[in-house]
Amino acid sequence: MLTERQELILKTIMKDFTQTHEPVGSKTVMMQLPIKYSSATIRNEMAVLEEQGLIEKTHSSSGRVPSSEGYRYYLDNLVEPLQLPDSVYDKIVYQLDRPFHQVNEIVQEAAKILSDLTNYTAFAEGPETHSVTVTGFRIVPLSNRQVMAILVTSDGNVQNQVYTLPHNIHGDEVEKAVRMINDKLVGKNLKEITPSLLKTLSTSDLAGEHSSELLELVEDVIKDAASEQMYVDGQINLLNNATDNVKNIRSLYELVGHNDLISDLMNLSKSNEEDNFPVQVRLGSELPNELLKDYSLLTAEYSVGSHGKGTIALLGPTNMPYSQMIGLLEYFRNELAKKLLDYYGKFQ
């Protein structure tokens, strides 16, 4: 562990560097410290911090910047969430305080708000679907052989997909499938409706030449409705911190659009929670992709009571102002949870 003075100097370097993005010299530290120390003392302490690998020299500059180990020490021991201006809180409340017709609309808007406020890439994952049940199912003809399957769930969400039916399928087969689903599946939890359950139902209730195709249609709609929805906003903001390497920029942009990887990153942070910190920070060196080495991922879970938990996240440069971003996520997760609880209350 560092001494109190060393921690104060490291904290000062961190604060100045994340604001200016310029190496910090001993004179700058001396002017910003709340306690007066001689320049020689500060230089000696900075030398100790450098020996311990917490700060490092850049090129020919006499200033120092935090190292990966320095960021980690700061985040684990020194960072304090900062209260943001009232105008930021007012904007969050204002943008969430409008009518939404589906849970997914609220979650998608959450990603947009976070991205707009920070100029970083924001992610929002909806709450789990453990308590969501099927309330209705329809198949609507669109054109020759094309239909839209519509599934309505107890949280007000409407899942719809367009399918092309097999040749020579009869209208009465489709109607029978719709009746079977409404008779057998309405009221069931989405997580209960497994492929094996559907197969059992099809064997006893959905006989016919095209029963397997209709079963696949139903299974696809149920699967999509049961999956947690992930929304991304501000992908272009990642490029603000990208290198000039065109190949890396293209790969980075594609990376953010890869939902499976983003889910893995968010789950990685959740699986490493320590001391119940509401906001987890993973530095680029701790993320499983070399393209993210200059970035940090901040994640925060929000709870919607019996309706489950969701996650919000920010992906931005390693030298971001962590106190402000952590303070923002702490506040935002609570406001998002309140909005979703209010929304779910309409269906009780």
pLDDT of residue 160: 82
> Sorting pLDDT into bands at 50, 70 and 90, what band is 290?
confident
Q: In the predicted model, what is the mean pLDDT of residues 110-127?
A: 93
pLDDT at 271 over 70: no
* Better-scored residue on pLDDT, 191 or 16: 16
pLDDT of residue 30: 93
pLDDT of residue 202: 63
Do residues 79 and 322 lie in contact, with contact meaning Cβ atoms separated by under 8 Å?
yes
3-state secondary structure of 249: helix
pLDDT at 203 over 70: no
* Better-scored residue on pLDDT, 195 or 283: 283
pLDDT of residue 131: 75
3-state secondary structure of 293: coil
pLDDT of residue 18: 92
Q: Which of 121-125, 134-138, 145-149, 294-298 has the lowest mean pLDDT?
A: 145-149
- CA 186 from chain centre, in angstroms, equals 31
Do residues 201 and 186 lie in contact, with contact meaning Cβ atoms separated by under 8 Å?
no
Spatial distance between the Cα atoms of 179 and 232, rounded to a whole number of angstroms? 37
pLDDT at 250 over 60: yes
pLDDT at 275 over 60: no
Token reading at 62: 């006499």
Task: Name residue 112's amino acid.
Answer: K
pLDDT of residue 256: 67
pLDDT at 185 over 70: yes
pLDDT of residue 33: 92
pLDDT of residue 246: 65
What DSSP string describes 107-134?
A: HHHHHHHHHHHHSSEEEEEPPP-TT-BE
Q: In the predicted model, what is the mean pLDDT of residues 177-183?
A: 80
DSSP code of residue 187 = T
Ordered domains of the chain (ranges, CATH): 4-78 (1.10.10.10), 86-128+228-345 (3.30.450.40), 134-226 (3.30.390.10)
pLDDT of residue 321: 94
- This prediction has a pTM of 0.81
DSSP code of residue 162 = E
Give CA separation, 296 vs 52, 111, 138, 279, 299, in Å: 22, 17, 44, 12, 10
Q: Which of 176-190, 278-292, 301-315 has the lowest mean pLDDT?
A: 176-190
Q: What is the pLDDT of residues 16-72, one digit of tens each?
A: 999 998 999 999 999 999 889 998 999 999 999 999 999 998 776 678 999 999 999
Mean pLDDT of all residues belonging to the chain: 84
What element of type H or E holds 337?
Answer: helix 322-345
Point out which residues pair with 164 in neighbouring strands.
146
Spatial distance between the Cα atoms of 66 and 56, rounded to a whole number of angstroms? 6
Cβ neighbours of residue 36 closer than 8 Å, sequence gap 6 or more: 30
pLDDT of residue 139: 83
pLDDT at 207 over 60: no
pLDDT of residue 175: 80
Q: In the predicted model, what is the mean pLDDT of residues 76-83?
A: 93
- CA 232 from chain centre, in angstroms, equals 8
